[in-house]
Structure 1
Amino acid sequence: MIIERAEVIVTSPSRNFVTLRLTTDEGLIGLGDATLNGREHSVVAYLQEHVVPLLIGMDAHRIEDTWQFLYRGAYWRRGPVTMTAISAVDVALWDLKAQAAGMPLYQLLGGASRKGLLAYGHASGNDTEELFDSIRHHLERGFRAIRVQTAVPGVRAVYGVPHDVTVSNGVRSQEYEPASRGAYPAEEDWDTRAYLRHVPTVFGAVRTEFGPELPLLHDGHHRMTPIQAASLGKSLEPYDLFWLEDCTPAENQEALRLVRQHTTTPLAIGEVFNSVWDYQGLIREQLIDYVRSSVTHTGGITHLRRILDFAAQYQVKSGMHGPTDISPVGMAAAMHLGLAIHNFGIQEFMPHSAKTNSVFAQSFTWKDGLLHPGEQPGLGVTLDVDEAGKYPYEQAYLPFNRLADGTVHDW
């Protein structure tokens, strides 16, 4: 099965997506997600100028050898651009191999380890009423676990909370897109002390309203120092969180030792990581409970499977990144991998827009709070090239933060 054509397709139906499309001499088409939010063209150039010329004439069945060739052969290793490009190739090759075998990808990964994937939705609000409405909205849509994000008094804009919530026919819109289109990123403000005072009161109100059984999650989005993160984790212990995510920038792996010493709140880390080396100490020392990396940004199914197999030795589970900056191709890859591994924890899930779904046809199902990738051979995703062409790339940036004195802060 020889690769005859490799195309990099950029489309922006609701946000920018980069897709690698491989075609073989047998007429099979494999897809890989190469989207790196806010830096999409960096991966496009990496693929088009450096990787695509190497793929033509390759045996598409040689997934492991191709992975090692692209990782070790380039000399310059790791990093989000390199690993996202490798991921796109890897996932496209797995898609092709599963199609050639006539079975859904998860079967090639060892078969299903569960009926479906527990997924969590994103609830948010500018006040308690909006937040409760958002939680109820997600429960009505079938979610059985909820991430809770809230505005903070005195802070103009907070990650995960839409600035303007529209209402149509009595239903509040829950769509949220942090990447603003334009020539310069939006500037937001931040006050950690106000945040630390406010968040525990919010979770107290949510538990009072919705009871003790509903799994609740929260994302700190790298904004705290280690001691601040430890303080928040401890203050949230009475509310029994499923996890506290990205409580502090984890490039400094030793920081999680301090957090772990002071709180039993479960910790999830890693959506900005891209290799097993980012996790080595965190997993070995059992400083985290969930791996947050995505297939898209972490070297594909081949490499993320290695990370999760390593994590399984320490009872650390998966919590794969899955908002709408992961295309339907990347989400399908996550579902197949999550269905097959033993140490699955939970899957992040933000439904894509109708425009995105018109570009990417998908076979997954959503029932009783569980995702399933479906039974179509391969990933179960097809790309409508003509439809994709209706939505050209638009420059977009994620926001950035400044403190009250003007200092740039973690976002």
Structure 2
Amino acid sequence: MSDLYERHRAVIPDWIALFYERPIELTHGEGRHVWDADGNRYLDFFGGILTTMTAHALPEVTKAVSEQAGRLIHSSTLYLNRLMVELAERIASLSGIPDARVFFTTSGTEANDTALLLATAYRGSNQILAMRNSYHGRSFSTVSVTGNRSWSTTGLSPLQTLYVHGGVRTRGPYAQLTDDRFTEACVADLEDLLGHTRDPAALIAEPIQGVGGFTSPPDGLYAAFREVLNRHGVLWISDEVQTGWGRTGDHFWGWQAHADSGPPDMLTFAKGIGNGMSVGGVVARAEIMNCLDANSISTFGGSPVTMAAGLANLSYLLEHDLQGNARRVGGLLIERLRAIGAAVPAVREVRGRGLMIGVELARPETDAPYPEAAAAVMEAAREGGLLIGKGGGHSTTVLRIAPPLSLTVAEAEEGAAILERALHEI
């Protein structure tokens, strides 16, 4: 493994991060488990950054991919693609957006990039509203609307971005307010911001901030924002790359926690729908999607193989009610982790929804970020046979837990027990 690591360092950019002091090579997986090159077995509580949504090596998906690859791997969007149309029809229906059109991409970054292109073209404005602590991708445009300093790699932005309060409930100037007052304060901030700027194109927001450490506002905040945005003609883009497909348990889409406002003007998706295959996309009202006045194609977006994977994966998710499983098993896991955290002084907060859970660590008595502890817990969890992620807006001090949605109660308990031992080691 050290030889592979040295080869990696010799040819891969320094800014490509690797987990662990001794990085591991994953060779295969099954269900909720993966194995490394040394034969060690791990319970996977991160799913390749929330991408292995249903299960590793899910037979229905691997069969669909294999059969389609044996027929035709690639065609591009220059030809009719039955699988792409079928998946687009299902996603349009599930989206809640009226008269919806679907454009497929290869990643969440590209999906958000496309949504920004559509919004700026439709509105004739290069101003974008985004949330503080947000993350929307690594392209030039999506980095420019990312409100997390750790992931905003350049300030040379093609967009004029203004950042709004509300994505982080328990830190910042409004943290001590009640939920209702918090929402009121954030809405007032938005109103004030709009009074000092020209007409923005859109607000892009994650219903639950992923890289930011699984933080979220009180339910209904984006509905309250939407009332303000509508008065100013500003579009709402819901970034569902991590919250979509039932991961939060309570809802199929993250925006539905703010459903008083109705569906967003656009939603973006990726990660879990392909269960590891490169699938992303944008859903938008027809008048917005069709606003571009130049030709365009996608060479790889909507490829026959990835569409076959997406259809098989979505069918499995719906037929086996994995959203309901995320609600039930995720609810038990969150309560178990909260009980564990109550006995560990370094645990500041356990938060989340369904199988999207963050455990924030802080230095006891100071409330300061504690990235060293997060790194130590990750190492200890790995030694115990559990893979988790990390993130956070102030530093990488939040343990991110997002297993496949087919997680069993027994596996949830097993993972919680490993994490409990790892937390007590710090």
Q: TM-score, normalised by structure 1?
A: 0.35
Larger helix share, 1 or 2:
2
Q: TM-score, normalised by structure 2?
A: 0.34
